[in-house]
Structure 1
């Protein structure tokens, strides 16, 4: 099965830049989108509902904020929206599709870059989401959490990391959160199961020079439960076209849903 995750930074802008034309040629089973900045009723045309895909949105309550989506070829057994806390549900930051064997979710953790208050919001979100990750381990199925975590895990995941240790996205507390998820709890960073190289980024600041010089960060992940570790076959960060400041992350898994 092929799973793609991509932060659109506005689904209409990404569509204008050719994202859906690209997507329909990827033969993906599931595509997870984040930061739509549009509501379901604004996206009812064929442009946002490519043939062969079942489409599910979870809107933010306020216009212009976040919003997530899942596109899948197979009709899921169930769709779950939200995680039961306001910072997630009010801003449309989580949607999950349950299939026979695997649940796949689209997740958008808030950034803390704008202000101290934004960082406090991110920290609170991470605390709530860690609770969800712990509960998930008690369930008898595998999970893939796709999306923008807005944190670079290790020094190889961020350019100029030494100068960014006091910047949101690479704070010691954020990296410790990642370590708990991927260490103590046993979740898997699917990309790193295959690709161990440095400078493998999924996001670059809003200027072309950073992208051309590959000065960025790996902020987008597919995090799986341990049962899927040996199923990860191939990984790719697609950088040939620029649909937003983020790049699509493509991962192929053995087996089906």
Structure 2
């Protein structure tokens, strides 16, 4: 099974930059999006053979997630089921016979960490939610998790220490999530690889200079480690300030 995740930074803009060509080229069983930045009825995607699942933010032109799946889900949940955290369209969960698939757009802590309290509230609730799913069946989690976990996950870690996406609080929350039974699939296969990122600022020629951050992930329940075939970061695919990331799994028992 092939999974793709991509923060498109506005799907309508991404479509004008070749999104459908990328979608067809990658030919995934599941294609997950973050930061769609649209409302119901604002786009009509001709994705033959896929069931489309959308979670829209209440605020127009903000956040939002989607999953396009070749196989319809047994059930779908939008959000965490926590009222104060579910206004921004950040989470979709699809249930299948052998696994859950979760796509997530984690809240940004923002400049000066002014939203860190909301971020940490999200992290705690998200971790508990995934733990509850994992008790029932294995979980595949993907998305823009808005944190570079290790020093090797961003080009310039020293000047960014303590900033949004690389604060101790966010990194520790990610470590805690992994410690509850999940695997960072890219680091599982490539524990020492450097210079491979999934997001670059639009400023300072960051992408041209590969001054990026790895903040887009596929995580899996630890018991799926044996099924990991490949974890890809498609750094050559343009159309957003993020590039797509991918995961290929053997059939899950």
RMSD between aligned alpha carbons?
Answer: 1.6
- Whole-Å separation in 2 of the counterparts to 1:87 and 1:68: 18
Matches within 5 A, 1:39-58: 39-43=39-43, 45=44, 48-58=45-55
- Are the equivalent residues in 1 in contact too, given 2:3–2:248 (CA < 8 A)? yes
CA shift, 1:98, in A, is 1.1
Give the TM-score taking structure 1 as reference length. 0.93
What secondary structure is seen at the aligned counterpart in 2 of 1:230?
A: helix
Partner of 1:172: 168
Q: Specify whether residues 186 and 106 from structure 1 end up closer, same or farther in structure 2 by C-alpha distance, changes over 3 A only.
A: same
Q: Specify whether residues 191 and 167 from structure 1 end up closer, same or farther in structure 2 by C-alpha distance, changes over 3 A only.
A: same
Partner of 2:61: 64
Partner of 2:108: 111
Partner of 2:198: 202
Given the alignment of the two structures, is residue 91 of structure 1 paired with residue 77 of structure 2, yes or no?
no
Given the alignment of the two structures, is residue 148 of structure 1 paired with residue 144 of structure 2, yes or no?
yes
Given the alignment of the two structures, is residue 188 of structure 1 paired with residue 176 of structure 2, yes or no?
no
- Are the equivalent residues in 1 in contact too, given 2:90–2:104 (CA < 8 A)? yes
Given the alignment of the two structures, is residue 7 of structure 1 paired with residue 7 of structure 2, yes or no?
yes
State the 4+ residue runs in structure 1 displaced beyond 4 angstroms: none
- Whole-Å separation in 2 of the counterparts to 1:138 and 1:241: 36
- Whole-Å separation in 1 of the counterparts to 2:46 and 2:102: 19
Partner of 2:127: 130
Given the alignment of the two structures, is residue 218 of structure 1 paired with residue 223 of structure 2, yes or no?
no
- Are the equivalent residues in 2 in contact too, given 1:87–1:125 (CA < 8 A)? no
- Are the equivalent residues in 1 in contact too, given 2:100–2:133 (CA < 8 A)? no
What secondary structure is seen at the aligned counterpart in 2 of 1:52?
A: coil
What secondary structure is seen at the aligned counterpart in 2 of 1:132?
A: helix
Any gaps of 5 or more consecutive residues in structure 2? none
Q: Specify whether residues 52 and 208 from structure 1 end up closer, same or farther in structure 2 by C-alpha distance, changes over 3 A only.
A: farther
CA shift, 1:137, in A, is 3.2
